[in-house]
Amino acid sequence: MKVLVTGATGQLGFDVCAELARRGAEHWGVSSREMDLRDDASVRRAVLDYGPDAVIHCAAWTRVDAAEDDPAECWAVNADGTARLAAACREAGAKMLYISTDYVFPGDGERFYEPDDPTRPAGVYGKSKLAGEEAVRSALERYFIVRISWVFGKNGGNFVKTMLRLSESRDLLRVVDDQIGSPTYTRDLAPLLCDMIETEKYGVYHATNEGVCSWAELAREIFALTGRTVTVQGVTTEEYGARAPRPKNSRMSKDCLTRAGFARLPDWHDALERYLKEIEAI
């Protein structure tokens, strides 16, 4: 199978390419340099010239707060760019796997969201990712939509790296304690995505590491595992005051994976420990 991977310079795309290489699969990982999602001709050329059997679409505008200030640019990449890519996949006869997010949900209550629960994103980023989902559904029959959350991987910035950096200069950190979700380690997710595209089990999935926590709990675990003496002060979303709205409930049910016969990802504590070793923080 020949696979085109977008977002290859990002956290997830990097590890998807590494996993495909490990499996000896023919693949091409692209960044905005080789294929700019904002440009029709660039997207069409990359897909049709390469002629993949499957496209794993990891690229996105991921700066959630900045999206509130530049909604047009975020939309051009996440919504219109995904629509361009889906149209090119249709033309090329390729399956498409689109990476989406917990931010498509309203985030109220405490229940675990199922893939077919109603969506209602609050911010620009979530709306643009949902528009990407809708573009994929309307252009293609052979698609996977995989919603993930709280991503950490070796190749790029993330919450874990930010906590480690801040702990170098501070004894006390204020971290949000009322948003509950599940971290996703890209090295755990990548093999699942590569397994998925080999199948015809199309549909919408949730895939994160198992277990839930708040950002503050995640921060405390990072410092416990790395032996750092930093006090984590839990604060509310309102007290923290980020630019973009974020769901308080990001719990997503992964029963869809079990039902389809896919292996679920390990517990997040285990994933975090392996990640900290990978980036040589322990």
Ligand X SMILES: NC(=O)c1ccc[n+]([C@@H]2O[C@H](COP(=O)([O-])OP(=O)(O)OC[C@H]3O[C@@H](n4cnc5c(N)ncnc54)[C@H](OP(=O)(O)O)[C@@H]3O)[C@@H](O)[C@H]2O)c1
Smallest gap, in angstroms, from Cβ of residue 84 to ligand X?
10
250 near ligand X (CB under 6 A): no
Residues 106-145 close enough to bind ligand X by CB under 6 A = 129
What residues are paired with 101 via a beta bridge?
Answer: 148
Q: Does 5 bind ligand X (CB under 6 A)?
A: no
The answer to whether 155 and 15 are in contact (CB under 8 A) is yes
Q: What is the full DSSP assignment across 232-282?
A: EEEE-HHHHT-SS---SB--B--HHHHHHTPPPPPBHHHHHHHHHHHTT--
Nearer to ligand X, 42 or 167 (CB): 42
> Which listed range, 56-64, 113-121, 261-269, 271-279, lies at the site for ligand X (CB under 6 A)?
56-64
CA atoms within 13 A on the CB side of 173: 25
Strand partners, 180: 214, 249
DSSP state letters, 85-117: HHHHHHHHT-EEEEEEEGGGS---SSPPBPTTS
Q: Judge whether 125 counts as a catalytic residue.
A: yes
Residue with the closest Cβ to ligand X?
A: 10
Q: Which of residues 57-96 bind ligand X (CB under 6 A)?
A: 58-62, 77, 81
**Burial of residue 215, with CB atoms counted within 10 A of its CB: 0-12 exposed, 13-18 middle, 19 or more buried:** buried
265 binds ligand X (CB under 6 A): no
Quick one: which of 67, 148, 230, 232 contacts ligand X (CB under 6 A)? 148
Q: Considering only residues 5, 7, 79, 113, which one is a binding residue for ligand X as defined by CB under 6 A?
A: 7
Site for ligand X in 13-32 (CB under 6 A): 13, 31-32
The reply to whether 207 sits near ligand X by the rule CB under 6 A is: no
Q: How many residues bind ligand X, per CB under 6 A?
A: 30
Query: Applying CB under 6 A, does 188 fall inside the site for ligand X?
Result: no
Q: Please, what is the minimum distance in Å from the beta carbon of residue 2 to ligand X?
A: 19
C-alpha to C-alpha distance for 262 and 255, rounded to whole angstroms: 10
In this structure, are residues 16 and 57 in contact, taking their beta carbons and an 8 Å threshold?
A: no
Window of 33-41, 110-118, 174-182, 191-199 that interacts with ligand X by CB under 6 A: 33-41
- 181, 150 in Cβ contact below 8 A? yes
Closest by Cα among 113, 100, 187 to 148: 100
Q: Does 4 interact with ligand X (rule: CB under 6 A)?
A: no
Q: Which residue among 50, 113, 125, 205 is the active-site one?
A: 125
Residues that bind ligand X (CB under 6 A): 6-13, 31-33, 35-38, 58-62, 77, 81, 99, 101, 129, 148-151, 156
**Catalytic residues, which ones?**
125
